[in-house]
Copies of this chain bind each other. A is one copy, B any other.
Amino acid sequence: MSATQALQISQARPFIDHVKQHHPLVHCITNDVVQNFTANVLLAIGASPAMVIAKQEVASFVKIANSLLINVGTLDSNSAESMLLAAASAQKNHIPWVLDPVAVGPALAYRTEIVHQLIGFKPTVIRGNASEILALNGDNSSSKGPDGQDSTESALNAAKQLAQKHQTIVSITGDVDYITDGKQTYSITGGDIALTKITGTGCSLSAMVAAFIAGSTNTLLATASACFMMKKAGELGNKQQGLGTYAVSLIDQLSLFNPSQI
């Protein structure tokens, strides 16, 4: 496998601009903790979020969306059924889609089984933390919930294997982000530890990835560009006044984001 390249700002810029200009309609089936934050993050970057969840509606709505996000954070039997219908429709209709396998692993067998079924519908991108990617690849992980404790580097081989096995792109985010299709890999450093101390930054990054891959011809770079934008906005966020202000400031920074000033 080839070496890892650091993503350059000049590579991310066209993808950031593309979302701002095209306002992709992103169909989100995500968890109940982060729905509001996710919608505001998508609006801040210029995308148009739509949370449609009924099993009667998801398959047809996917067809008019520009991309789909499925996040299993607060999965239950009803939402699992909708997710499987939506993923099948995305595959059939060639709508790019992102899978966020929140907290998969041996401790949570039900979602792990559903996530493996979802992967059968060929997600365009899988984005998770190191613990989740290790678990998906069948490797050992120290995860005990949505906040994984493994380093992203420790999961890079698992990510590459997973990407090759399922012909998808895998993004592991954390201390250093890695985005790989199993052959080519981009890395992104920076960000801020505060991003892990407010809820929904990983989940809403997955939604950003869905916005970035909509209508894009280079899915690997589009995914990496979304990760880049979140890491840089996280650096720019106001950390002086506490975590409440930081969460607000993160959306501020995404909405004001200007690649020329990075």
Query: Which A residues have a C-beta under 8 Å from some C-beta of B?
Result: 25, 31-37, 39-40, 43-44, 48-57, 60-61, 64-65, 73-78, 80, 82, 103, 107-111, 144-147, 197-200, 241-245, 247-256
Q: Is the CB of B40 within 8 A of A199?
A: yes
Residues of B within 8 A of A51 (CB): 31-33, 73-74, 146
**Cα–Cα distance between A35 and B81 once the two chains are bound (Å):** 22
Contact among B33, B56, B80, B248 with A245 in the assembled complex (CB-CB below 8 Å): B248
**Cα–Cα distance between A53 and B64 once the two chains are bound (Å):** 30
Q: Given A111-B57, A197-B43, are A252 and B256 neighbors across the interface (CB < 8 Å)?
A: no
Q: Given A252-B243, A253-B242, are A54 and B40 neighbors across the interface (CB < 8 Å)?
A: no
Q: Is the CB of B60 within 8 A of A75?
A: no
**Cα–Cα distance between A103 and B111 once the two chains are bound (Å):** 30
Q: Given A144-B64, A241-B252, are A77 and B50 neighbors across the interface (CB < 8 Å)?
A: no
- Could you tell me the distance in whole angstroms from the C-beta of A46 to the nearest C-beta in chain B? 9
For A50, the closest partner residue in chain B by CB is B145
Q: Is the CB of B49 within 8 A of A74?
A: no
Q: Is the CB of B40 within 8 A of A247?
A: yes
Residues of B within 8 A of A245 (CB): 248-249, 252
- The interface centre, meaning the residue of A57, A60, A197, A243 with most chain B CB atoms within 10 A of its CB, is A243
**Cα–Cα distance between A218 and B107 once the two chains are bound (Å):** 29
Q: Is the CB of A76 within 8 A of B53?
A: yes
Which 6 pairs, one residue from A and one from B, show the smallest C-beta to C-beta distance? A242-B252, A244-B251, A56-B110, A39-B199, A50-B145, A243-B255
Q: Is the CB of B103 within 8 A of A74?
A: no
7 additional contacts, CB 8 Å, given A43-B199, A53-B74, A245-B249? A32-B32, A32-B35, A44-B197, A54-B111, A60-B107, A244-B250, A247-B251
Q: Is the CB of B50 within 8 A of A75?
A: no
Residues of B within 8 A of A56 (CB): 77, 109-110
Q: Given A36-B200, A76-B78, are A251 and B242 neighbors across the interface (CB < 8 Å)?
A: yes
